[in-house]
Amino acid sequence: MKRQGTFPFTAIIGQDTMKKALVLNVVNPKLGGVLIQGEKGTAKSTAVRALADLLPPRRCIKGCRFHCDPDDRANWCDECQEKYATEEPPVELLPMKVVELPVSATEDRVVGTLDIETAIREGKRSFETGILADANRNILYVDEINLLDDHVVDVLLDSAAMGINTVEREGISYSHPARFSLVGTMNPEEGDIRPQLLDRFALSVKVAGEQDPERRAEIIKRRLAYEADPEPFLESWKDEQAKEVRRIERARKLLSEVTCSNDMLLLAAKISITLGVDGHRADITLIKTAETIAAVAGHTEVTKEDIREASRLALPHRMRRRPFEEQNLDWTEVDEVIDDEA
């Protein structure tokens, strides 16, 4: 059976903020992921799955089941450390991908399993990889993340914080790198998300259905055309997709050249204080986001406008709020702080 292609990322109408947040995480995988909140049927899952077609390939150690980075020896798995202790590893280019974590996934399916019998009988650690192994250096996508089992949430929190997945059974342990960008989607009507997990997302966006009649009609038109005959539809968007891939590749190359002045660092701190944001993770994420926005825009110096746009993505979900309290943010004060900057 021939598999149907994914609806093109560039063919999605509207939802510009959501698409921008996803692209930023592709350009800078170290950002730390994005949470997309919105009602059902607003292209959340479609956009995340379509993202896979825009992901650039990455250098991996050939044959490594954790696709270790040959240029980052400090974060190699134990197998690569042992095998290539005195020689250079063979390298292959592999595509990045979006790895999906089902809400119903068990803890063993997520972290992997140790074969205790083999360990006892042969004295060898036999490890069967899980979803976190596959997600290393990829994007880990969780639909309906607010409905995840608490045990799985704790595992994700630990791995996101440490960049390592550790499995322990009967006194035997196994660790492997698990560095991933976490992308979650949720419908707030189905329940809230744990604050500890919320803070692990670098960016957060809220999406809603399109209210312009003509644009809404165009959404229907494109979807029906795609479902009726996917191949010609995908072909018609091939150039736009290629253009977006080139834009992402240019931004990734430019990112290392982007600088942020002390004035912009001070501005980021003032914004966080104005919004009453707890901790310093928000300030750091704000600057990283602004730098990535600058790279996507094609300039190498972070501007006030980069900071302004980044604040809308990196700070709202870190605001102090009471349980069940709606977050209707007034950005007037923040804009005044930004506009007062010389």
Which stretches of 107-189 are assigned E, i.e. beta strand?
A: 113-114, 127-128, 139-143, 164-169, 172-177, 181-186
Task: Give buried/exposed letters for 104-131 (b at 16+ CB in 10 A, else e).
Answer: ebeeeebbbbbbeeebeeeeeeebeebb
* CA–CA separation, 291 and 307 (whole Å): 9
Q: Let me know how many helices (H) and strands (E) the chain has, helices first.
A: 15, 11
Round to whole Å and give the CA distance between 188 and 202: 19
Known catalytic membership, residue 312: no
Residue 8 and residue 53 in contact, taking contact as beta carbons nearer than 8 Å: yes
| Three-state secondary structure call for residue 166 | strand
- CA 264 – CA 289 distance, rounded (Å): 13
> What are the beta bridge partners of residue 183?
34, 141
Say which of 65, 252, 281, 312 is annotated catalytic: 281
Is beta strand 127-128 parallel, antiparallel or unpaired with respect to 181-186? unpaired
Distance between CA atoms of residues 305 and 341, nearest Å: 11
What is the DSSP code (8-state) at residue 320? -
Task: Kindly list the catalytic residues.
Answer: 281
